[in-house]
Amino acid sequence: MKIILPNSTINIIQEDPVSITSILDNLNINPSEVIVSRNGKLVPEDTLIGGDDEIRIIRIAHGG
Amino acid sequence: MNQGNPVTGRSERCTLCSEPPVIRLPEPERHLCAAHLIADVEERAARTISERELIKSHDRIAIAFSGGKDSTALLVILSRLLPAWEDVSLVAITVDEGIAGYRNDTIRAAEEVTKKLRIEHVCISFTDLIGDDLDTLLIGRETQACSVCGILRRKALSVAAHKAGATKIATGHNLDDEAQSVLMNTLRGDLPRLVRTSDADSSGCFIPRIKPLAEISEKEIAAYLFVQDMFPFLPECPYTRHALRLEVRTMLSAMEQKHPGTMRNLIKSKRAIEKYVDPSVFSEPLRRCRVCGDPCSGELCQVCSLRKSLGK
Ligand SMILES: [Zn+2]
Ligand SMILES: [Zn+2]
């Protein structure tokens, strides 16, 4: 499973299945400061992910 | 109604239909699909507008439109609510501060959005306003970036709004911004500012400002745009942000995560205080700027005193 971090670096995670909440927790990212997509679609943080999922963590930039 | 797994709260479906959820929201706890998120956000903005009487028939609303996420959401929402109001028109105003490597992209994005939504769009630059762009004005005083920029942006917006014949200025301030401001003013001990910031000011001299997104969280706004392919992936402003706001933001979002409702409660406290405060206690006698005649609290308005210190 591929995790794309806000700074565009890519993490490969073997653990499966796992919730997005626990991934954010491990990365020390506050869920209210990001939105997360799975294979291009927005998903809630309590979603379980695994397999070939491509997860993208998008930082909600401040301002504007 | 699909309540999800009672133990984990996890849900494979939207609480209101059978589509996959895109977001989980508290109070009331619910999972929403893209279509229901969009409807939820637009309904709540419409409710804020009607409950606080932010928009009335025959208003011409100038939307402060930077091209960032909050003002993009504001523009989309107001353009969709527009048919419900009698004889209301919208004009988007973009202020070009003149920040190299940052503003060009956002202005291009702003133009695309207004074209797509068919909303009248006006740009005003700091160069139009004061003769120089922000980068030039800030040489040797980079640490004052946010305050210099804030004063000039406010002025540029009001000049452009007057010119466009606007009766209100709408800004994209969201729930997080509002909660941060309450806490910041409290931490600074600034009670006048704490109770004076809400909704439209009725002094009659300024164009009243309205904040239709004040009840919607930053995350909901980001999600609302993302599911419509309108989330602006834009660079952040290169100048350092207001240090205190950044600290308060991190602290409040951590608190909100642990104790959902924290931000709403802060705003509730502020509104409760406002009810008991006699506004005349804080209203200074209205004066006029000695140079430009704009209403202000001192001898010079902020713009003129800035001009003076810049030697402009
Ligand atoms: Zn639904
Ligand atoms: Zn002045």
d(CA B126, CA B96): 6
B122 and B7 in one domain? no
Domain count, chain B: 3
ipTM tops the 0.90 cut: yes
* B235 and B192 fall within a common domain: yes
B210 and B105 within one domain: yes
Percent of chain B, pLDDT > 90?
Answer: 58
Q: To probe the interface with A, which of B10, B71, B74, B153 has the most A CB atoms within 10 Å?
A: B10
Element (H, E) at B90: strand B89-96
Looking at chain A, the whole-number percentage of residues with pLDDT higher than 90 is 81
pLDDT tens-digit series, residues B68-81? 999 999 999 999 99
Amino acid sitting at position B285: P
In this structure, are B256 and B130 located in the same domain? yes
The Cα–Cα gap between B158 and A59 comes to 31
B160-176 pLDDT, tens digit each:
999 999 999 999 999 99
pLDDT digits (tens, 9 = 90+) for B19-47: 999 999 988 889 999 999 999 999 999 99
Amino acid A4: pLDDT: 96
Q: Supply the pTM of this predicted model.
A: 0.91
Out of B66, B67, B219, closest to residue A60 by CB: B219
B5 and B145 co-located in one domain? no
Q: Would you say B160 and B207 are in contact if contact means Cβ atoms under 8 Å apart?
A: no
Tell me, yes or no, whether B126 and B96 share the same domain: yes
User: Would the pLDDT of A48 be above 50?
Assistant: yes
Q: For residue range A12-25, what is the model confidence (pLDDT) as tens digits?
A: 988 889 999 999 99
Query: Are residue B76 and residue B8 in the same domain, yes or no?
Result: no
Q: Which domain holds residue B299?
A: 287-312
Between residues B1 and B213, the one the model is more confident about: B213
Q: Answer whether residue B215 shows pLDDT above 60.
A: yes
Residues B143 and B214 both lie in one domain: yes
B144 shares its domain with B293 = no
Higher-confidence residue of A16 and B297: namely A16
Residue A63 pLDDT more than 60?
A: no
Q: Are residues B169 and B71 in the same domain?
A: yes
Q: B7: which 2 tokens?
A: 């133990």
Q: How far is ligand 2, taken at its centre, from the CA of residue B303, in Å?
A: 6
State the pLDDT at residue B170: 97
With an 8 Å Cβ cutoff, are B253 and A58 in contact?
no
What domains are defined for chain A? 2-59 (3.10.20.30)
Protein residues within 5 Å, CB atom, of ion ligand 1: B 14, 16-17, 19, 33, 36
- pLDDT tens string A23-40: 999 999 999 899 999 999
Beta bridge partners of B296: B287
**Same structural domain for residues B113 and B174?**
yes
Instruction: Summarize the confidence of residues B122-137 as an average pLDDT.
Output: 92
**Same-domain check for residues B225 and B296:** no
Closest Cα of chain B to A64: distance in Å?
4
